[in-house]
Structure 1
Amino acid sequence: MKLALFDDARLGVVSADDTTLVDVTDALPWPHDPDPLTAGWWRALCRDFAAVAPRLREAAAAGTPRPVAGVTLRAPVLGPSKVIAAASNYGAHVAEMHGVQERTLGRVEAWMMEFDVFLKAPSSIVGPGAAIVLPPDVVAAGHEVHHESELVVVIGAGGKDIPVEQAMDAVLGFTAGLDITVRSAADRSRRKSYDTFSPLGPWLVTADEIGDGSDLDIRLACGGELRQEVNTGDLLTPVPQIVSYASQVMTLLPGDVLFTGAPPGVGPIAAGEKLEMTISRIGSMTVAVH
């Protein structure tokens, strides 16, 4: 099922051809609260999706489709307790980062070439129609700001110390995300947590349609120029292992967000450009840079 959040945080089920959606908000068993800070219905949906899914399918089949082009798509998450990101998870990206760090830092930080997880600020999340805003202080300092197009996991039931073989039971689904990054000597979480630095969209596709996310094509173009192209089969640490590993560090709560790692081809972005990102079987979004 493709789930979209749109307009005033309404819940929609998107058609197979991505052109229409049906508002199924009234089919939810909880009161609808559009405030992302208090929208417990969304976290309840993430936790209890299997139980709620039949009534959502019924509402989608009986409802009136609306053109996707006629609504404002929001980020397909609300108020996650945390945004987790995986580092150094494609071999070719690890290789290219030696040159990137030599150019931007004047040295290579060996510890940053090892797989691990870190946190980004949830306040960095924006929807597919929002713009990435380059921080004036970063631009004035001459630091490069890079795009990183990634497969993103949305946690369902979650849990602590989740075994790898049960990891997908803890996942609601997947969306596409841009992990925008300042290349500087600052802490990794700081460099990736500016407002607007985590565009997500266009919607969420549940894991029952995609499986474990191990065979999806990611493409990113900037101004029509192809910058990144990879298959998630190249992930050094696949999704179930990332989920399990992260849960050994912190309890994964319903609605949490997990970026799975940057593919090769990262590069600088500038005001006036547009980033066009697509993940097969999920969808596409175009994000402007301001």
Structure 2
Amino acid sequence: MRICWFNDHRLGLVDGSLVRDVSAALSALPEPVYPGPRGDTLIAHLDEVLGAASGIAAEAEAFPVADVQFLSPVAEPGKIVGVPVNYRKHAEEAEADTEVFTARYRGSIEAQGLFLKATSALVGCGEGVSVRFPDRRTDHEMELGVIIGRKAANVSETRALEYVAGFSIALDMVVRGPEDRSFRKSVDSYAVLGPWLVTADEIADPQALDFSLSVNGVLRQASSTRHMIMTIAEQIGWASRFYTLWPGDIIMTGTCEGVGPVAPGDTMCCRIESIGEMAVTVRAWDGAQLPAGHAARRAGRNSRRSDRTTRFPSR
């Protein structure tokens, strides 16, 4: 199944070219408490919500996919984990251009370690990327996004994929420069996830997915997840040995060669086999306004605090 958050934080079930509003299925979630359990509540109870959504989808109000604004399919991840230079040809291009990529991109993945992106950087494809530093280079990095479905601590690589809730298209945007990569990759809107979450049961082999990215119609990145240096299972296993992974945690699994700069006015078109495609616009930072998804999440939290009987956002 394919689920999404859209417009004013409605829950959607993607049905071909339509998005069906199944927000009423959020009644399957447990009553909110404070402090709540770790992880994203929806992802932690995904099976229950999808079951409820399936029962009401046929009669739910539907919108054309082209007419909705897609937010991140994960609303509140605990962390976003990044995997550095996980494709051989990207490692080669980074090694060949240290003026752009710096010496931080040298060495094995194990030597460099995983890195974290701030969850405040997360947006959906419908919100777009806001370039905050026009005097510095901002690059796109197209990746497969893996969403963890249940608590994972010190898991084996042979069982690691059992902990995956689903997959999405991810953009690991970055400001080039000398600072630590986690700092430069955590700018607001520099973690794009979307357009929806495809449940793990629909992806026969996540290690054999073709993907591509174009900017303004010009192809820049094209590869397959089979070319990863560190497999998805290895990433989950290794990460879980350092910190517990919780429902809704996102792993951005690394990018291939062809990364390059974008500027306000550009449109990035991303595609991953068996998941779908998304268009992401690039704009200049206006200096103040939160992306729509952040505003909706904050409004939703305030609503839940003021009215404990509210089970899902009102229209």
Q: What TM-score, normalized by structure 2, do the two folds share?
A: 0.82
1:264 and 2:257 correspond: yes
Structure 1 counterpart of 2:29: 30
Write the mapping of 1:181-192 to structure 2, written as runs, cut at 5 A: 181-192=174-185
1:245 aligns to what SS in structure 2? helix
Alpha-carbon offset, residue 214 of structure 1: 1.1
Residues 84 and 105 in structure 2, CA contact (< 8 A), matched pair in contact too? no
Residues 170 and 193 in structure 2, CA contact (< 8 A), matched pair in contact too? yes
1:104 and 2:88 correspond: no
Identity %: 36
Alpha-carbon offset, residue 282 of structure 1: 1.0
* Cα distance between partner residues in 2 of 1:117 and 1:61: 43
1:133 and 2:152 correspond: no
* Cα distance between partner residues in 2 of 1:2 and 1:205: 5
Write the mapping of 1:270-285 to structure 2, written as runs, cut at 5 A: 270-285=263-278
Write the mapping of 1:1-290 to structure 2, written as runs, cut at 5 A: 1-15=1-15, 17=16, 19-28=17-26, 29-30=28-29, 43-101=40-98, 103-104=99-100, 108-109=103-104, 111=106, 113-115=108-110, 116-136=113-133, 139-140=134-135, 143-290=136-283
Cα deviation, 1:172-199, whole Å, max 9, x if unaligned, reads 1010111111221100101101011111
Residues 100 and 177 in structure 2, CA contact (< 8 A), matched pair in contact too? yes
Q: What TM-score, normalized by structure 1, do the two folds share?
A: 0.88
1:286 aligns to what SS in structure 2? strand
Is the alpha carbon distance of 1:190 and 1:110 closer, same or farther for their aligned partners in structure 2, counting shifts above 3 Å? closer
Residues 69 and 127 in structure 2, CA contact (< 8 A), matched pair in contact too? no
Is the alpha carbon distance of 1:247 and 1:42 closer, same or farther for their aligned partners in structure 2, counting shifts above 3 Å? closer
Bigger drift between 65-74 and 217-226 goes to: 65-74
Residues 87 and 261 in structure 1, CA contact (< 8 A), matched pair in contact too? yes
2:114 aligns to what SS in structure 1? strand
Alpha-carbon offset, residue 112 of structure 1: 5.0
Residues 39 and 79 in structure 1, CA contact (< 8 A), matched pair in contact too? no
Alpha-carbon offset, residue 96 of structure 1: 0.7
Q: Which amino acid aligns with 1:2?
A: R
Give the paired residue count.
279
RMSD after superposition:
2.4
